Structure 1
Amino acid sequence: MARIVRHTHRAGRPTVVVVSARGDTTDELIRQALELNPSPSARESDQLLATGENQSAALLAMALHEIGVPAMSLTGPQAGILADGRHGAGVIAAIDTSRVLRHLDDGNVVVVSGFQGMDTHGDIITLGRGGSDTTAVALAAALDAASCEIYTDVDGVYTADPRIVPGARVLSHVDAGVMTEMAFAGAQVLHSRAVELAAVHGMDLQVRSSYTQSAGTTILGRSCQQVMESQGFVTAVTHDREVVWAQVRATRPAPGLATVVFDALAQKSVPVDLVSWSGPGESEPRLGFALHRRDLPVAQDLLAQLAAELGCVTELDDQVGKLSVVGTGLLNRPEYTVRMLLALSAAGITPSWGATTQLRSSVIIPADRLTEAVTTLHREFELDRDDAESMPA
């Protein structure tokens, strides 16, 4: 990574690098915390987890010094990143770029710790999953940067997880809206919040490998209908093993049950997906939704409290996965959802819940069938074809 940065710096372009923690550092820090306390303080957890990115920033700056590149590492707060929200799920509220610009003017590469900012109390607050991607895009926007490049360990954005589908292809271009859905549906190469932020600022993102010279994938911040149409209606198959299916059933009439439940989750910044609920005429109102496994502890506490207050029964199933076909115009092309369901049925896989939007058709299936299901749908929509981007599925 230092050699890539050196190449950019020698080309005369002022450069800011945002880093995340290396490898399994964050997971290891979480493990250490849980060994000491099964319910660690959210504030102290953020204090701890932020050190993973700080290590990366300092080490990259040292590596740059070694190869003759002047560099300065900054933590998120030192880089002027201010954040709101709860610990572990903060959002960037503002960025004071004065210190970053000062170091750039001095000829330094500025290496910034991603995933973190400072709240109004002066405390570290981490930004949740994908926080380093979001930090990079937010800084690029605040600095009015000419480009924002995301370097990772894969060659770009694939039509499916290449570890599961050997025939998966790297997509040369992906519309921001499609990429947001892919990220939210389980594609791990880029976080949905980062893509959304880039789209708001009309910024293209370049996703490429730090190990190869491949062209990678361009995420189009300015939506282009011509490009969207040339990609075909089905762009990729994604999956997410880290989901939990929740069902809430009222044992007595409960007007506004969905509103109460989702309002409580929203106040704790817990996003939900594939929402479904019964009509007002039901004697036992029910609602169901998918949530991410990382949000389960918070959601469990909230649902237990609501169950006691409203007389509800809550069921949580963590032996499921979310499977999605992502593309464009899926509501206008219902035959694609039908093809998805028929292909799964032919493989003996029965979804339990599902929903379709213009950009995504998702179902909940048993976790132990996810790998087979991804391969099945990738084959069904012929996404391994070299000309798949230029032809309807």
Structure 2
Amino acid sequence: MKVIVQKFGGTSMATGDSRREVIKKISQVKKDGCQVVVVVSAMGRTGDPYATDTLVDLVRKTNSGLNKRDLDLIMSCGEIISGVVLVAELERAGFPAVCLTGPQAGIVTDGNHGNARVLEVDPHEVQKFLQEGRIVVVTGFQGKDADGLVTTLGRGGSDTTAAALGVSLGAEVVEIYTDVDGVKTADPRMVGDARTLERVTYNELCQLAHEGAKVIHPRAVEIAMQKGIPLRVRNTFTDNPGTLVAAGDTNYENSTKIRDNLITGITYISNISQIRVPLVKEEDMALSVFTVMAKEGISVDFIYVSPKEVIFTVSDDAVDMAVDTLEAIGLKPVLRKDCAKVAAVGAAMTGVPGVMAKIVTALTESGIQIIQSSDSYTSIWCLVDRTDLQEAVRALHRQFNLHEGVHREAG
């Protein structure tokens, strides 16, 4: 029998009304004759009584320095509450169901508490309950390490749980339910005519997610891509088909339309700062820069290295530590605050001349200075002033006609 994995986020689980929509989505899959594994996040967002951040605040008000091992225990509670409540409602609706924690579902991770990575999944318990005809509800965002201690998977960890279970069970598809209709060509809060994409490749969605799109965690996409398990990003509260995520050579359910857009979407990361470090005398000075950043656990991005200087960006919440750390080893960093990173993403750009020219034209005509740029096979990034961020996103969206949804017919 086919297995479908469905993941429901915090807004989908927040209220009785929203959970009734969740049950409708689950019941439809059951009516289609499939077995269902449901992965749930904690109910609601910060401030809601059972949200993860709310539970963590209970502890941090008493002791902000609690060790990560114990913090993981309370961070895993929100999903357990959510899972048991959903099982109770499914049973009341006439659907036999059972709740399993991440560890009970066989999710084994490394020991990096607070941001653990999934090492393997033993789906034996999940399969046992599926064979009994039950809906299996699994608490997302959590697993266990080699010593049996509870670990959590970091922000977006429930997406990772769903993808890992989908791979281990050989699922037909992993459906990621949220409160938007799918993957958009841009943030609809910035671009009013942003479209929902019918389909994207794994690589494109990974890039969009890494560069700021919040619709799914990039680690989940990477896990699904390993075994070619399709993902579908959908809205809990509508019947829209959402966005299908699969390999570039997939026939997309026999569609006769071939996407012919050069760029798939525009995304961004705000609240970052650029650091320039002049290099003098020592040949290994560049190595020293990145060594001390790694030692302090500071993530660096947008890296440029030349014989005379090193340039990179860090998040605003890490910038003071980064500057202090560099000055402590005798370097003189030059800081530029209040920056943002805008990215144009699209698998079709590979090998196509003129893409950067279009980007420079769009930003220049909008009066936006490009502070720094870089590229890969599927992305081009530009660093701009944060005050220019919204207009930069809009300008690039217009330049590549992403509001139009260009297609051509096959055959």
TM-score range, shorter chain: 0.7 to 0.9
Q: How many angstroms does 1:213 deviate by?
A: 0.7
**Structure 1 length as normaliser, TM-score?**
0.86
What do the CA deviations read for 1:155-184 (whole angstroms, capped 9, x no partner)?
111111112211111111101111111111
Quote the residue 2:248 is aligned against. Answer: 223
1:330, 1:361 within 8 Å by CA — same for their partners in 2? no
Q: How many angstroms does 1:96 deviate by?
A: 1.5
**SS of residue matched to 1:48:** helix
- Alpha-carbon distance in 1 for matches of 2:204, 2:396: 17
What do the CA deviations read for 1:284-336 (whole angstroms, capped 9, x no partner)?
xx32333456xx55x8767755653x423456666222211111354633422
- Alpha-carbon distance in 2 for matches of 1:219, 1:120: 32
Per the alignment, do residues 114 and 259 of structure 1 end up closer, same or farther by CA in structure 2, a change over 3 Å counting? farther
Q: Does 2:303 correspond to 1:275?
A: yes
Quote the residue 1:123 is aligned against. Answer: 149
What do the CA deviations read for 1:263-284 (whole angstroms, capped 9, x no partner)?
56668886543211222xx3xx
- Alpha-carbon distance in 2 for matches of 1:176, 1:121: 33
2:279, 2:310 within 8 Å by CA — same for their partners in 1? no
Match of 1:3 among 21, 24, 39: 24
Aligned residues: 379
2:274, 2:339 within 8 Å by CA — same for their partners in 1? no
- Alpha-carbon distance in 2 for matches of 1:90, 1:102: 26
Match of 1:161 among 168, 173, 187: 187
Q: Does 2:83 correspond to 1:57?
A: yes
**SS of residue matched to 2:43:** coil
Matches within 5 A, 1:194-213: 194-213=220-239
- Alpha-carbon distance in 1 for matches of 2:397, 2:165: 36
Q: How many angstroms does 1:71 deviate by?
A: 1.1
Q: Does 2:33 correspond to 1:12?
A: yes
- Alpha-carbon distance in 2 for matches of 1:231, 1:55: 45
Match of 1:238 among 255, 267, 282: 267
Match of 1:362 among 381, 388, 391: 381
- Please tell me the residue identity of whatever aligns with 2:263: V
Quote the residue 2:11 is aligned against. Answer: none
**Structure 2 length as normaliser, TM-score?**
0.83
Per the alignment, do residues 113 and 105 of structure 1 end up closer, same or farther by CA in structure 2, a change over 3 Å counting? same
- Alpha-carbon distance in 2 for matches of 1:343, 1:154: 28
Structure 1 residues not aligned, in runs of 5+: none
Q: How many angstroms does 1:126 deviate by?
A: 1.4
Quote the residue 1:214 is aligned against. Answer: 240
Q: How many angstroms does 1:30 deviate by?
A: 4.3
Most deviating of 171-180 and 312-321 = 312-321
- Please tell me the residue identity of whatever aligns with 1:312: L
Per the alignment, do residues 365 and 26 of structure 1 end up closer, same or farther by CA in structure 2, a change over 3 Å counting? farther
Matches within 5 A, 1:264-303: 272-279=300-307, 282=308, 286-291=309-314, 296=317
Match of 2:340 among 304, 321, 330: 321
Per the alignment, do residues 307 and 37 of structure 1 end up closer, same or farther by CA in structure 2, a change over 3 Å counting? farther
2:362, 2:396 within 8 Å by CA — same for their partners in 1? yes
- Alpha-carbon distance in 2 for matches of 1:165, 1:255: 46
Q: Does 2:211 correspond to 1:185?
A: yes
Structure 2 residues not aligned, in runs of 5+: 1-21, 46-50
2:279, 2:286 within 8 Å by CA — same for their partners in 1? no
Match of 1:135 among 154, 157, 161: 161
**SS of residue matched to 2:70:** helix
- Percentage of identical aligned residues: 34
1:330, 1:359 within 8 Å by CA — same for their partners in 2? yes
Per the alignment, do residues 98 and 269 of structure 1 end up closer, same or farther by CA in structure 2, a change over 3 Å counting? farther
- Alpha-carbon distance in 1 for matches of 2:330, 2:62: 36
Name the Cα RMSD after superposition.
Answer: 2.8
- Alpha-carbon distance in 1 for matches of 2:200, 2:167: 20
1:82, 1:119 within 8 Å by CA — same for their partners in 2? yes
Quote the residue 2:14 is aligned against. Answer: none
1:83, 1:93 within 8 Å by CA — same for their partners in 2? yes
- Alpha-carbon distance in 2 for matches of 1:76, 1:265: 33
